[in-house]
Amino acid sequence: MLVTQKGFSLVELLIALLLGSVLLAMVIGLYVTGVSTGAKSLKYSRLRTDLQSIISIMETDIRRAGYGGPDFMVGSGASKTVDRSADKHCIVYYYDHDSTGSISSANKMGVRFIPAENEIQFGTGVGPLATDCYSSGNGTWTALSDKQFIKITALDFTEIHTYLSALKNAQKFFWKEFQHS
């Protein structure tokens, strides 16, 4: 009498092992892809947040330039609210942020870009001329950007004439026309 044996043959076991290995490799591949995508997403999110923070700090501070009156003017002859360096990488501005009415080193601010270090810096106690931004002893400068994380390659400050100056010119024109008629 023949006895039948139950079980898997060697070929069947090898095929099952191969299919299991392929399935395991696919699951591991999906996991690695998910982790790397998550890491890239976190880096992008931090980059976006850091840049938004830097821009927000600069924007809100620069908008206040000149607040406090004629003592808070900068540039040659103290005639401007914001003074820009010739290389367009630095600006200085003063404003009365503590509402004391008197100027102090805390009210003298600037923002500069250091190309060699790929870094944006915020300064306090700076002089009234943007041409002195890079002079030693001209204020206390603190990094706004993390040069280990963000490589900033350019930052230029551009002067634009706002609609207020155009409005003032228009008012002058209409006043002259009114006087002539």
Q: What is the DSSP string of 4-52?
A: PP-S--HHHHHHHHHHHHHHHHHHHHHHHHHHHHHHHHHHHHHHHHHHH
Q: Is the pLDDT assigned to residue 108 strictly greater than 70? A: yes
Tell me the whole-structure pTM to 2 decimals. Answer: 0.69
Q: Tell me the domain boundaries of the chain.
A: 65-166
CA distances from 92 to 27, 85, 99, 104, 130 (A): 56, 9, 19, 14, 6
93: nearest Cα among 70, 117, 126, 56:
126
- With residue 108 as reference, give the H or E element that holds it: strand 108-114
pLDDT value at residue 178? 47
Mean pLDDT, rounded, for 113-125: 91
Mean pLDDT, rounded, for 69-78: 85
pLDDT band at 13 (very low <50, low <70, confident <90, very high): very high
pLDDT band at 7 (very low <50, low <70, confident <90, very high): confident
Q: Is the pLDDT assigned to residue 160 strictly greater than 90? A: no
- Sequence-ordered list of residues with C-beta below 8 angstroms from that of 58, at least 6 positions apart, any chain: 111, 120, 122, 144
pLDDT band at 97 (very low <50, low <70, confident <90, very high): confident
Share the mean pLDDT of the chain. Answer: 85
What 3-state class would DSSP assign to 53? helix
The answer to whether 62 touches 112, Cβ cutoff 8 Å, is: no
Q: Is the pLDDT assigned to residue 163 strictly greater than 60? A: no
Q: Is the pLDDT assigned to residue 143 strictly greater than 70? A: yes
Both tokens assigned to 39: 């890491």
